[in-house]
Structure 1
Amino acid sequence: MKSSLIISTYNWPEALNLCLLSVFKQTCLPDEIIIADDGSRSETGDLIKEFQSKSKIPIKHVWHPDEGFQLAAIRNKAIAAASFEYIIQIDGDLILHSDFIKDHLRLATKGKFVSGSRLLLPEDFSMKLLQGKTSPSDRSLLVMGNNRLNGVRIPLLSKLLSSIYKRNKPYYVKGCNMAFWRKDLFAVNGYNEDISGWGKEDSEIAIRLINYGVNRLFLKFGGICYHLFHPEASRSKESHNDLILSETLNMRKVRCEKGLDSHSLSK
């Protein structure tokens, strides 16, 4: 099975550097990397070019002008640019466990999408990592994390729990750690680009996928990633995004009006 890894980023090349370094330490590499860049300055592009020059697998840089927080739109553009059938989606402020891709591919199931979680790193340790004062390893990241249960890897238990973990919260997802079949994303028209600013784009697409008949598996005790500390984004548009989420839920929507088909008709 061929996979595309989409990494969303915005003006934080130091974090993206750590993220990409962790990608190339994977026990199972993706078949391509797509950087979904929400309007970063040239420093990010320069970093990507450096990785492109060294990488044995394709790295695509998908960029649009900075018009505020437009994560849904840039993810759609990256999905449209993806070449392979299975899409694994992360954020560029994550460091991946060395078996992250392997765990996602092991759980990939037709007619399902996947969400995982992340282990939060404290501010002082994150700064040391970003400044190169310490090197990340699966053990050191686990020890320093704030919610260590999210950093425990037990592959057998992960498979057994995938369909029952958080079953009482079917729309609970973490957009920084998800995976989809590309054809399912086209079926629901991808992310809802009426959602801008922080929040709810991941839950909203989860609702539409479930309405379409594609249910969630939760990747617990696998698909581990470590989240670098940063200040919270502005919540100024959260109430607007909540209204869109409620409408999707109440009207049992499958497709959004402004979504993936704005960027590509290829399936």
Structure 2
Amino acid sequence: MKNLKTTLLIATYNWPKALELVLLSVLKQSQLPDEIIIADDGSTEDTKLLIDSFKTQFSIPVKHIWQVDNGFKKAHILNKAVAQSSGEYIIQVDGDCIMHHHFIKDHLQFVKDNTYLFGSRVNIQKSHLETLFSSKQIRFNAFSKGIKKRTRALHIPFLSQLYKPSTEFSSKFRGCNASYFRKDFIAVNGYNEDITGWGREDSELVLRFHNIGLQARRLRYRSIVFHIYHNEKSRDRFEINDSIEQETVNKKIKWAKNGVDKYLA
């Protein structure tokens, strides 16, 4: 779709070294979004200083939406960020995911009404972190050192045409590489803020997308992100979050009662 105003949404928490590489990868995109919003779940001053240093390097607005650190509340900060976005279309990544240089362009080439998109994630191994950060590496391919599951790193645009929209939710979906219309996000009332702690916030959102009739399209061989290794976050809320998601599936819930509407003007 031409002339579609686009917001790149980046979720982050207290890892400015990783966020720096992500923002460097945005600077090298073959097609820039119309704005960048960094959804910050309570980082310290180091992250603010980093973001401020990047604002002058971009020709597009860079907004930093911050909330007080009160535990893992990613759903809350993403809702606040989308509420302050001006794009018709949202492309979403995590602040530890370096983008392939055609990442934005690839997402925008597959935008279609009543459809959300999701792409592949390639994991950067722990053993490569020292090299990654010292060299500020942001370019990877299937033959790069320090990555796993190399076929996911193949950028072969014509093969991506083999993957068609589906009415079914895919277990391959990852919220760190997804895109959707802002109006669809609003239609389901955004993220469910009853989900706190790690897990299920992204998948529960798109299950409600399916419940209002959206389709999913996987962007295989395009729109690749390279995920920087980190220790696993606490899963102490996972069973509760999983039960919320199961209720969404079982009852075909379309609307999050505790969602984005409270932040909308």
Instruction: Say yes or no: TM over 0.5.
Output: yes
- 1:65 deviates by 0.3
Amino acid across the alignment from 2:75:
A
Work out whether residues 188 and 208 of structure 1, in 8 Å CA contact, stay in contact via their aligned partners in 2.
yes
Q: Deviations over 1:144-163 (max 9, x none)?
A: 31011111111121133142
Once the two structures are overlaid, the 10-residue window that deviates more, 186-195 or 154-163, is 154-163
Work out whether residues 71 and 197 of structure 2, in 8 Å CA contact, stay in contact via their aligned partners in 1.
yes
Amino acid across the alignment from 2:252:
R
- 1:221 deviates by 0.6
Pairing partner for 1:121 from 124, 141, 148: 124
Give the secondary structure class of the aligned counterpart of 1:113: strand
Partners in 2 of 1:251 and 1:232 — Cα distance?
31
TM-score, normalised to structure 1's length? 0.94
Pairing partner for 1:2 from 2, 5, 8: 5
Report the counterpart of residue 180 of structure 1 in structure 2: 180
Report the counterpart of residue 215 of structure 1 in structure 2: 215
Pairing partner for 1:13 from 4, 13, 16: 16
Work out whether residues 207 and 249 of structure 1, in 8 Å CA contact, stay in contact via their aligned partners in 2.
yes
TM-score, normalised to structure 2's length? 0.95
Partners in 1 of 2:57 and 2:200 — Cα distance?
36
Once the two structures are overlaid, the 10-residue window that deviates more, 167-176 or 21-30, is 167-176
Partners in 1 of 2:124 and 2:170 — Cα distance?
26
Partners in 2 of 1:214 and 1:247 — Cα distance?
19
CA separation of 1:9 and 1:134: change in aligned 2, threshold 3 A: closer
Q: For structure 1, which runs of at least 5 residues remain unmatched after alignment? A: none
Amino acid across the alignment from 1:75:
L
* Aligned residue pairs, count: 262
Amino acid across the alignment from 2:6:
S
Work out whether residues 173 and 206 of structure 1, in 8 Å CA contact, stay in contact via their aligned partners in 2.
no
Work out whether residues 48 and 61 of structure 1, in 8 Å CA contact, stay in contact via their aligned partners in 2.
yes
Give the secondary structure class of the aligned counterpart of 1:241: helix
What aligned pairs does 1:226-265 form with structure 2 within 5 A after superposition?
A: 226-265=226-265
Partners in 2 of 1:73 and 1:42 — Cα distance?
20
- 1:173 deviates by 1.5
Give the secondary structure class of the aligned counterpart of 2:141: helix
Once the two structures are overlaid, the 10-residue window that deviates more, 167-176 or 38-47, is 167-176
Q: Deviations over 1:125-170 (max 9, x none)?
A: 123212x246332338744310111111111211331426xx7653
Report the counterpart of residue 204 of structure 1 in structure 2: 204
Partners in 1 of 2:146 and 2:117 — Cα distance?
26
Work out whether residues 69 and 196 of structure 1, in 8 Å CA contact, stay in contact via their aligned partners in 2.
yes
Work out whether residues 169 and 210 of structure 2, in 8 Å CA contact, stay in contact via their aligned partners in 1.
no
What aligned pairs does 1:98-117 form with structure 2 within 5 A after superposition?
A: 98-117=101-120
Partners in 1 of 2:240 and 2:99 — Cα distance?
32
Partners in 2 of 1:134 and 1:179 — Cα distance?
26
CA separation of 1:79 and 1:142: change in aligned 2, threshold 3 A: farther
Report the counterpart of residue 146 of structure 2 in structure 1: 144
Partners in 1 of 2:260 and 2:164 — Cα distance?
28
- Percent of aligned pairs with the same amino acid: 44
Partners in 2 of 1:3 and 1:153 — Cα distance?
23
Partners in 1 of 2:162 and 2:241 — Cα distance?
34
Once the two structures are overlaid, the 10-residue window that deviates more, 139-148 or 183-192, is 139-148
Cα-Cα RMSD: 1.6
Amino acid across the alignment from 1:230:
H
Partners in 2 of 1:47 and 1:229 — Cα distance?
21
